[in-house]
Amino acid sequence: MTAKEEILQSLRDATGLQLSDDHLTILIASAVVFLTALFVWALTPRKAKRKYALDPESWTKFQMVKKEHVSHNSRRFRFALQTEETILGLPIGQHISIQGVDEEGKEFSRPYTPTTLDDDVGHFELVIKVYPQGKMSQCLEKLSVGTYVPFKGPKGRFTYTSGQVREFGMLAGGTGITPMFQVLKFILKDPSDNTKVKLIYANISLGDILLKDELDSFAKLHPNKFSIYYVLNDPPPGWTGGVGFVSADMIKAHLPAPAEDVKILRCGPPPMNKAMAAHLDALGYSKEMQFQF
């Protein structure tokens, strides 16, 4: 009995079917086609599925791996994601919630915007001011490196696509700079994004300005796309920026004029947000031209 006859007989015994030489030829051809397709599939490069760390429905714990003093009352916290390839998965201009536990053992949460982008794989960073009466900032200040902290997100109404406006005007106060910083960083890293940004950033003193080195660097590297005007309540001697509270005249001088392709973003303490909304309304910016984080 030949090898071919042995194969046919084995198939007949296994299936109970009366198979002919033609059947065997078809089976062999089909097997060759299948194996060839499988081989090609195995060698074809495939884009790895992006892994996102955040879950909007449940709390996920991330380990604090670094805590840095940025100024007398601000800290930069770095948190590691699940792996070095994991992406946070936070849309530009949106925020995450942090869960803390107060002195009575009760859980509470606060929203924060990371200063990093999804390009920064494997980790994210928060820049936070530590206030004496700040419930969450005091909670984070007391935590040691290595502690796991619960997060949830993303959250927020802001969406951004390249070219959606010709120019952004930004009004930020204190820690309200963080969502602005994220949007700004995203725009400036893309050479094909021609959106211009003008920022007014208000603080009490020079030492209170968050991310000043980064902002000044952005303005120096991208003079045709970004400009910044600082306003201080308590300026040092020789200060050349704005003094006092942000006024309508400052907005008129340093932000883009009202137009359909302009949007003014604002984020700061509630009294500032209220005052800025009144200034913008008086200057002719429609509701569609304004957005508050």
Residue 51: predicted pLDDT: 77
Q: What was the pLDDT predicted at 276?
A: 98
Q: Is residue 81 part of a domain?
A: yes
- Give this prediction's pTM: 0.80
Pick from 132, 155, 178: which residue ends a domain? 155
How far is it, in rounded angstroms, from Cα 122 to Cα 144?
20
Q: Which of 113, 115, 116, 195 is catalytic?
A: 113
**For the chain, what is the domain count?**
3
Kindly state whether residue 33 falls inside one of the protein's structural domains.
yes
- Which residues are paired to 242 by β-bridges? 231
Radius of gyration over every alpha carbon of the chain, rounded to an integer in angstroms: 29
246 shares a domain with 182: yes
H/E segment holding residue 39: helix 21-43
Q: Does 13 fall in a domain? A: yes
- The answer to whether residues 21 and 104 belong to one domain is no
- The reported pLDDT for the residue numbered 47 is 46
Instruction: Say which residues have a Cβ less than 8 Å from residue 205's Cβ, sequence separation at least 6.
Output: 232, 233, 234, 235, 236
Clarify whether residues 234 and 262 are in a common domain.
Answer: yes
Full domain range(s) for residue 32: 3-43
Q: Is residue 34 located within the same domain as residue 64?
A: no
Would you call 95 a catalytic residue per the annotation?
Answer: yes
pLDDT value of position 42: 62
- The verdict on 191 and 288 lying in the same domain is yes
Q: Check 123, 230, 267, 285 and give the catalytic one.
A: 267
Rounded (10°) angle between helices 3-15 and 21-43: 90
Q: Would you say residue 104 lies in a domain?
A: yes
131 is catalytic: no
**Catalytic annotation on 285?**
no
Question: Is residue 137 one of the residues assigned to a domain?
Answer: yes
Asked if 175 and 284 sit in the same domain, the reply is: yes
Cα of first residue to Cα of last residue in the chain, in angstroms, is 83
Bridge-partner residues for 60, per DSSP?
151
173 shares its domain with 256 = yes
Annotated binding site for FAD: 110-112, 127, 129, 135-137, 178
Pairing status of strand 167-173 against strand 148-155: unpaired
**Tens digit of pLDDT at every position of the chain (293 positions):** 665 566 656 656 666 666 566 665 665 656 555 666 566 556 755 544 457 899 999 999 999 999 999 988 999 999 999 999 999 999 999 999 999 999 899 999 999 999 999 999 999 999 999 999 999 999 999 999 999 999 999 999 999 999 999 999 999 999 999 999 999 999 999 999 999 999 999 999 999 999 999 999 999 999 999 999 999 999 999 999 999 999 999 999 999 999 999 999 999 999 999 999 999 999 999 999 999 99
- 67 and 115 in one domain? yes
